[in-house]
Amino acid sequence: MGVLYFEVSGYLNKLTRHSLMQRQHLFAHMSGKQLDDALIASQAFEERSFDAYGLFDAQFNPLGGQIRQLPTDLGLDGKIHELSRCLDADDPHLPRDSCDAVALKVRDGRWLVLVRDNGSLFVVTRIILHALLWGLSLTIIPGIAGWYLLRRRPLKRIRAIQATAEQIVAGDLTRRLPLSPRRDELDMLAAIVNAMLDRIERLMHEVKGVCDNIAHDLRTPLTRLRAQLYRIRQQAGDTSPQAEALEQAIGETDTLMARFRGLLRISELEDRQRRAGFVELDPRTLLIEMHDFYLPLAEDGEISLSLELPAQLPPLHGDRELLFEALANLLGNAIKFTPPGGQVRMRASSEASTLRIALEDSGPGIPEDEREAVLKRFYRSEEGHRHPGFGLGLSVVAAIVDLHGYALEVGASELGGAKLVLHCRTGVAS
């Protein structure tokens, strides 16, 4: 379309110029009466003055023709000029806008001005241009609308897939990506992912099944072992030479059972998706309770345990028992690893939508390269081996923190020991 427009307008332009040149050529060889007659005759077929002329004397006074005044921009050099504003005249038949014009000196000394209007040419090119614009708009507008409509549906489906995927990531492995009846590429992809999810879910079930079986298989013998040892101890009486050995065996079994319960507890927490126990709770009450619970232990170990609380704290949304368990683990560790005469500090502060609970101690601290590892199961630092403990405590903490969507930061305290900061989102958890 564009090419057509340019070709046609170029061709018409050339044609106009050519006809003007022919007239110039023709009239250049005439003079006197012959010229006048020829000029009048040339106008005989012109209704609208596409080809107008003006005859002037040597002093540029008009002598004849429609043009009564010499176009201002026209050079008197006998060459064709393209004028953007043609003539200043009231005659509606005269071309006003763009035209080709030429001024030539005829043999008898008079000046002849010939003008060829480009108007007709513009009409044609305008028609072509309009056609071109129409064509474009009829193609582009439905195109854009169509593109938008076509794009909207897959986008909606991708959003649905995204929403499902988020639920799966959050732990609900029973969900599947939605399929449409169209069976298109998106559905093929979703079907592949669903098949993978089926397999993953089956594997997870198998692993969990194995774990549950092991747990179940161990639970009963452990209960029996503890019970039988206890029975023998009861029957032996306090005076028996075996009493002490049996006492020790029972102690070891208790340790084993506690460690086993800890492991079960972590896996329970890890695959718990429901937050049934979540309530709105006041962190101040929780922390004061913690402080009171641990104060006697700290005092017995000659450790000063302090609690710094602002007058008000925003409520937390969480499981009271689990949060207490997590904080108790951290505080218990802090007290355990702090030597007599040391200091343990609990501090809470809130900023924006986060509540920070910081536990600091003057104990040996956690080396920088071990800070990641302390949250893993059964991890205990070199220092920790000198103290009793199961090495599971911090993993329980990590599981509880995860369940709540909180974050635990392990660092160094200005008191010289470890600093553990629990970042809790306040208000209702999503």
Which positions lie near another protein, rule CB under 8 A? 215-216, 218-220, 222-224, 226-228, 230-231, 233-234, 247, 250-251, 254, 257-258, 260-262, 264-265, 268, 272, 274, 276-277, 289, 292-294, 296-297, 300, 319, 321-322, 324-325, 328-329, 332, 336, 389-390, 393
Q: Which is nearer to another protein, 109 or 237 (CB)?
A: 237
Q: Which is nearer to another protein, 94 or 397 (CB)?
A: 397
Q: Which is nearer to another protein, 184 or 268 (CB)?
A: 268
CA distance 24 to 18: 10
Contacts of 55 (CB under 8 A, 6+ apart): 35, 36, 39, 62, 63, 64, 65, 110, 111, 112, 113
| Residue 372 beta carbon to another protein: minimum distance, rounded to whole angstroms | 23
Q: Which is nearer to another protein, 154 or 332 (CB)?
A: 332
Take residue 53 and report the two structure tokens written for it.
């002329």
| Residue 303 beta carbon to another protein: minimum distance, rounded to whole angstroms | 12
Which burial class, exposed, middle or buried, applies to 144 when counting CB atoms under 10 A from its CB (0-12, 13-18, 19+)? exposed
CA distance 258 to 269: 16
Q: Which is nearer to another protein, 35 or 403 (CB)?
A: 403
Q: Which is nearer to another protein, 190 or 286 (CB)?
A: 286
Long-range contact set of residues 143-148: C-beta below 8 Å, sequence gap at least 24: none
Question: What's at 56, amino acid-wise?
Answer: F
Contact 278, 429 (CB under 8 A): yes
| Residue 245 beta carbon to another protein: minimum distance, rounded to whole angstroms | 14
DSSP state of 86: -
| Residue 254 beta carbon to another protein: minimum distance, rounded to whole angstroms | 7
Q: Which is nearer to another protein, 162 or 273 (CB)?
A: 273
Question: What's at 88, amino acid-wise?
Answer: D
| Residue 225 beta carbon to another protein: minimum distance, rounded to whole angstroms | 8
CA distance 337 to 285: 26
CA distance 64 to 49: 14
Starting at the edge strand that comes first in sequence, how are the strands of the sheet with 343-351 ordered? 304-308, 343-351, 354-361, 418-425, 407-412
Contacts of 76 (CB under 8 A, 6+ apart): 103, 105, 111
| Residue 277 beta carbon to another protein: minimum distance, rounded to whole angstroms | 6
| Residue 226 beta carbon to another protein: minimum distance, rounded to whole angstroms | 5
Q: Which is nearer to another protein, 124 or 243 (CB)?
A: 243
| Residue 268 beta carbon to another protein: minimum distance, rounded to whole angstroms | 5
